[in-house]
Structure 1
Amino acid sequence: MKDKTEKAGEQPPTVDERYTQWKSLVPVLYDWLANHNLLWPSLSCRWGPQFEQATYKNRQRLYLSEQTDGSVPNTLVIANCEVVKPRVAAAQHISQFNEEARSPFVKKFKTIIHPGEVNRIRELPQDSKIVATHTDSPDVLIWDVESQPNRHATLGVNNSRPDLILTGHQDNAEFALAMCPSEPFVLSGGKDKSVVLWSIHDHVSTLAAADQGETKSPGSGAGNSNPSAEGPTVQARGIFQGHDDTVEDVQFCPSSAQEFCSVGDDSCLIIWDARAGSSPAVKVEKAHNADLHCVDWNPHDVNYILTGSADNTVRMFDRRNLTSGGVGSPVHIFEGHTAAVLCVQWSPDKSSVFGSSAEDGILNIWDHERIGNWEDGASREDPTSPPGLFFRHAGHRDKVVDFHWNVADPWTIVSVSDDGESTGGGGTLQIWRMIDLIYRPEDEVLDELDKFKSHLLTCS
């Protein structure tokens, strides 16, 4: 799946050449694509709840951030997104987009004035209108995005007040953030080398105190530059020590609210069990050959954990056999990126499929069940393609800082890149769905092609 220009002894294509080649293939490779040029860079993007279904498209909330230059405040943005249904968009419509324009499919619905830049957004699975954000502070901020008032981002305006503030870190916690699939638990990691666990339900006593006049009611829109002074706070249920450097990402086990994992700049992957105390249950030394940036736990098969690193690789670990000779023993190492991997995420639809995005501007889609299977199309066309790689999204011109599979429409992905200098804006947000001929089973596709041929013969 390498570009044809990438042969032995030849220079790889430039970013512009790669982008031009990708754009020419959009009508062939994609069932739908929306390109949205951002006013400001965004470090995080997440799908919210679907709130309207129609014949040809569904409407859904989309959460993203605006990281400004200080001329206006940083914001948490709630947008309404029109998601075109599969097999609806025409090929010529898919290809007709201007990379320097804003997409009509994405419309800003509400703005929250955020105290500091938004580094990470995570929605609560039990109630996706509740989101947590990380900023450059030790606190995790909780927002009810539906009840929060809409604000205008003008210089000097007061910050919006979080509905809840989770305290417990001793130093800034900027990126590592996760929500539990089964309980209203929040997990965070930070520069204090700690992993911290909270329950949102623990705020009930705080709210009771607020009703008695001890605390201001949340969501009133009042605020100042110190978020800790605004809104009710919740103390941690547990603080877990075991990393030797900054914790960069955390993730819950999909089947247990008491088990979770973390990765950090110490090159370690740690499995924790809150029932067994605050020390690591399993510590994988040298899980990678460099800092670890991201981790995800397979929601369909809890034995598999993905990690992404500054060593440009994604590694898949089996929790039943994590180490060998005292160091990490991955099931497979995926080598398809040429720069640090920033985000990994399993598909919500198929247990063997996952995505990875990196500083090379590429978002790769993998299927680990295809490894060693030389019958799949990618291997047959290009034996030099990394094993397991079956789709490469090259629509971004710089590092892809975040992406999110859409649970309501499982093969639709939102991705965001920090490529403002290339696009004349603050960055690029893309919503896209590869054509289903790429990921459907081969026998199913061939059967459909045979039916199509029969139909053409009948018509003729």
Structure 2
Amino acid sequence: VNRIRELPQNSNIVATHTDSPDVYIWDLESQPNRPANLGTPASRPDLTLTGHQDNAEFALAMCSSEPLVLSGGKDKSVVLWSIHDHISTLATEPGSAKSPNSGSNIKKAGNGNSDNPSIGPRGIYLGHEDTVEDVQFCPSSAQQFCSVGDDSCLILWDARAGLTPVTKVEKAHNADLHCVDWNPHDENLILTGSADSSINLFDRRNLTASGVGSPVHKFQGHDAPVLCVQWSPHNRSIFGSAAEDGLLNIWDYEKVSKMETESGGKKSNHPAGLFFRHAGHRDKVV
């Protein structure tokens, strides 16, 4: 298992990414508590989300306002599903009728029952030229989301506008992009982390449909590829980053201009915006 994401509307529903094209949905209340003993039958997911044509190993997100799941994979695609499209005990009482508004396209298992249900996507979004490494929903809109990949691109999408990119930043970094996060307090601010060891802060108001634009600031405090970036849920200007160098850095972008002013334009050994560094890990932090 490479990624686990919890459904914000129901903490008992989680999605997992493995070395497989499919996304698995699990209802923790219905799953048996099986010991990890040799010979124990494997648990079966409550729902399988299909749509990728190649392994989708890492890029996975769940929407904060609706039961939507977003994924990216080696097939260069971003895929969107709605758990509402599944009629089972995840959404309805046993034996209840199908809702006329559910839009379910459930596929039954080969034996004719729904013990192994799966659903297809609501949309497959194409715009990347290489593996999609991370995806995120816009905090204020279930219809808007973003993705990054090994093609060095940051792409903004809007499901209402079709299956093609709304904005594509083709050189968001000088190397593969590994991670992205959308500010929950300011929907205009997006962070990206890259194999070039840097973190870029983008303001989407500065981007055009052709991808013209530059980061508000480039944060440099790692010596290896950045694997994770995440905004603070409590403060709009604070975020964390983790990398293959084993470091966990905490940043405040509002301190950048102050630190640059205090340095008088001179090069500083202290990265601008960095105010805490945890160096206790002995291996990469993912």
Under a length normalisation based on structure 1, what TM-score does the superposition of the two structures give? 0.55
**3-state SS in 1 of match to 2:129:** coil
Which residue of structure 2 lines up, in the alignment, with residue 439 of structure 1? none
Aligned pairs for 1:55-74 within 5 A? none
The corresponding residue for 2:106 is none
Residue 65 of structure 2 corresponds to: 182
Of 138, 148, 163 in structure 2, the residue corresponding to residue 253 of structure 1 is 138
2:276 matches 1:391: yes
The structure with the largest alpha-carbon Rg is 1
| 5+ residue gaps, structure 1 | 1-117, 218-230, 402-460
Contact 1:269/1:285 (<8 A) preserved: yes
* Pair 1:276 & 2:161 matched: yes
Contact map agreement 1:136 1:172 (CA 8 A) in 2: yes
For 2:209 and 2:121, locate their aligned partners in 1 and report how far apart those are by CA, in whole Å.
34
Query: Across the two proteins, how many residue pairs are aligned to each other?
Result: 268
**Per-residue deviation at 1:386?**
0.5
Q: 2:113 aligns with which of 215, 226, 230?
A: 215
Instruction: Report what 2:54 is aligned to.
Output: 171
Percent of aligned positions with the same letter in both sequences? 74
Q: Deviations over 1:139-168 (max 9, x none)?
A: 000111233111111233321011111111
2:201 to 311, 316, 319: 316
Aligned counterparts, 1:135-174, within 5 A: 135-174=18-57
TM-score (norm 2): 0.88
SS at structure 1 position matched to 2:85: helix
Q: Is the 8 A contact 1:370 1:388 kept in 2?
A: yes
Does residue 261 of structure 2 align to residue 363 of structure 1? no
- Measured at CA, do residues 328 and 376 of structure 1 come closer, stay the same or move farther in structure 2, by a change above 3 Å? closer
SS in 1 for 2:223: coil
CA–CA separation in structure 2 for the residues paired with 1:274 and 1:176: 18
Ranges in structure 2 where 5+ consecutive residues have no aligned partner: 97-110
Give the structure with the larger helix fraction: 1
Q: 1:349 to 1:376 in 2, by over 3 A?
A: farther
Structure-2 change in CA distance of 1:273 and 1:324 (3 Å)? closer
The alignment partner of 2:160 has SS state of helix
Q: What is the Cα deviation at residue 375 of structure 1?
A: 10
Q: How far did 1:326 drift?
A: 5.3
Q: Deviations over 1:249-295 (max 9, x none)?
A: 00000010000000000000000000010000001011000000000
Structure 2 residue matching 1:370: 3-state secondary structure? helix
**Per-residue CA distance 1:351-403 (angstroms, 9 max, x = gap):** 100000000000000000111214999x9xx94211110000111011001xx
2:157 is aligned with 1:262: no
**What's 1:201 paired with?**
84
Shift of the alpha carbon at 1:322? 2.5
Which secondary structure does the structure 1 equivalent of 2:37 belong to? Answer: coil
Contact 2:133 2:150 in 1 (8 A): yes
Q: Distance in 1 between matches of 2:235 and 2:68?
A: 25
Give the AA of the match of 1:165: T
Q: C-alpha separation between the residues in 2 aligned to 1:391 and 1:304? A: 21
Shift of 1:211: 5.2
